[in-house]
Structure 1
């Protein structure tokens, strides 16, 4: 088994040079049913992937100062923790606790595939494109919070020009989101 793609002739990906961060305003969200609206808002507030936001169970995940996402919800089957750093996150989490209780965010009786298909169709119909861009936006905000400067993908210093502390912040953000990318979303 090769150790990396280079061993089998697949070149490393080059940075796209474009900012992939996306946010969604309140207006398109109003076109979605409540459970879908909460799932999209969780993606924006916590940098969750779609599957994580749909399978999220607040009773087991909420640890007070952080969210503990179960391995079965996460890509690659690796559990991860998301720090709660803003009051907005805590308020959203309270809404989630109040909504379905301690079950997943999917509508009752739906399988994950049915819920995923439904939310992808509904968000597209509401004009919401590239929900994965919410993760990029979260990562950029987190980097800004940790370092006080924009990340490289948002116009900050490029990886070649950042200091050791800035590199550590980038790695901290990417490790928390389980994506080993120094360039912090938008420039893989």
Structure 2
């Protein structure tokens, strides 16, 4: 039997008016487990984690609307003007396109429950994506791996281990098996090893989608994780921490060692990118497209590598691999277009100095922009 969210406790946390909260609870009780998709129909239910994200995002949206001066009496009062106001507010706050689209997905699901199927559009229906730097692509334009930033994962993790052994072993798991952050937190070494060749990832997965990843004889990391495992839960989170508390601890340790976008330019997630890029190269004998080498493998090997990467990453569509690997076509297009110093200066001026927005306007990656800036300074 699928787990169901305690919607009453979730909604009550937001102190909405009693009648409003009751209507919201009724809607959630009836629909919060349903998968909502424009492209498919599914009889399965959402994971509890996704149910909570959906319910929390919707409650927060209504709180924002009421604080913004909209006297909504209940969820049934939701109108197009409310959605537009929310999107404009989120854009003004500098939220990313992906974050806003996720929130709109939750609102779209609710609109469907309310019988208002065409109520919620996409970001582009409310603001100019290009003007606000909100163009979203599922093809990587920037290499997020630690190696691409000149960082030795083993050396940096050894440095972090001196501060916290648990964070270090979680980073090792991410690097060795391509685990997401929460997967490494909830990983239970003693239950994950099913045979000498494969590792079963079941906890903390996206959408509750379990997967197997190659073990590749990396037993030393598993032994270290087992030694540090929580005696009560079996996970790598220390006994004195809850999951929420551990997320804060983990972020604090990484920040101390510069593992942030503002610091060294990388996050822990970059280890997952690096693992999947290395997996691609191990299958094809050719560097992933994002590396920009220009060499291509045989089509059959490329297809096999894409399949292996997406399976190891825990996604359902092969094209999702492009988010980690990029594509040869895109990299060729980027390499052909080398903006002049004058074009770069104009783009930066129009973007108010924001390098991400300037790179997007120029049609190049942020890394390519930094390289171009470095070259112009050297001249």
Fold agreement, TM-score > 0.5: yes
Residue pair 1:82, 1:176 contacting (<8 A) in 2 also: yes
Alignment of 1:176 onto 2:312: yes
Residue pair 1:55, 1:105 contacting (<8 A) in 2 also: yes
Displacement of 1:183 after TM fit?
2.5
Alignment of 1:154 onto 2:278: no
The residue aligned with 2:277 is 140
Q: Could you tell me which of 197, 200, 220 is aligned with 1:65?
A: 197
Spell out, residue by residue over 1:40-63, the C-alpha distance to the aligned partner (whole angstroms, 9 max, x if none). 111111111110000011111012
Residue pair 1:167, 1:182 contacting (<8 A) in 2 also: no
Alignment of 1:81 onto 2:217: no
Q: Could you tell me which of 219, 222, 243 is aligned with 1:112?
A: 243
Q: Could you tell me which of 80, 86, 91 is aligned with 2:220?
A: 91
Q: Distance in 1 between matches of 2:201 and 2:245?
A: 21
The residue aligned with 2:39 is 3
The residue aligned with 1:167 is 303
Distance 1:14 1:172, change over 3 A: closer
Q: Distance in 2 between matches of 1:136 and 1:61?
A: 22
Aligned residues between the structures: 183
Which one scores higher on RCO, CA 8 angstroms, separation ≥ 6?
1
Runs of 4+ in 1 over 3 A off after TM superposition: 8-12, 156-159
Unmatched segments (≥5 aa) in structure 2: 1-36, 41-100, 102-120, 125-134, 148-152, 261-266, 328-379
Q: Distance in 2 between matches of 1:96 and 1:83?
A: 17
Residue pair 2:230, 2:238 contacting (<8 A) in 1 also: no
Displacement of 1:158 after TM fit?
8.4
Residue pair 1:49, 1:135 contacting (<8 A) in 2 also: yes
Displacement of 1:99 after TM fit?
2.6
Q: Distance in 1 between matches of 2:186 and 2:163?
A: 18
The residue aligned with 2:169 is 38
Q: How large is the RMSD of aligned CA atoms in angstroms? A: 2.9
Distance 1:186 1:144, change over 3 A: closer
The residue aligned with 1:187 is 326
Residue pair 1:65, 1:84 contacting (<8 A) in 2 also: yes
Distance 1:99 1:124, change over 3 A: same
